[in-house]
Amino acid sequence: MHEVDESLLPSILQEIAELIGLPATLQLVQHYGGVRLYVPKRLSEDHILITIVGEIAALKLVERFGGLDHFDIPKAQTISLALRNAKIREEKSTSSVRQLALKYHLTERQVRKILAIEHQEESRQMGLF
């Protein structure tokens, strides 16, 4: 997983990430982002939460949120975009702008812009030394 700033997550997701880790939290967002979630007091062996985040993380969610009112799982678009952009920058050496645009359903212009932002940040860092 790429290094990302967890402060980009909404507060409820920061709390969940602290509890079950960022990868499992992002899986939860991918499945439930934008809708309400109810965590039961007990999980059956085949409960969807176990499938989504794994048994250990699901049990931690039950321990913390089991039986409480439903709560919204934000879409967390800011961190999702940050992760996507990090993947694009990582893959730039092995893929063309066109390939990246097709893979990530972006325009070539958007990919070039993402890569240009990285180049600007690198130039700024070099200026510090």
Instruction: Give pLDDT, residue 126.
Output: 44
Flag whether the pTM goes above 0.75: no
Closest by CA position to 83, among listed 54, 44, 114? 114
Whether the CB-CB separation of 97 and 90 falls below 8 Å is answered with no
Other CB atoms within a 10 A radius of the CB of residue 53 amount to 23
Domain limits of the chain? 6-72, 92-127
Whether the CB-CB separation of 114 and 122 falls below 8 Å is answered with no
Q: 44-65: per-residue pLDDT in tens?
A: 999 999 999 999 999 999 999 9
Q: 79-109: per-residue pLDDT in tens?
A: 889 889 999 999 999 999 999 999 999 999 9
Whether the CB-CB separation of 15 and 56 falls below 8 Å is answered with no
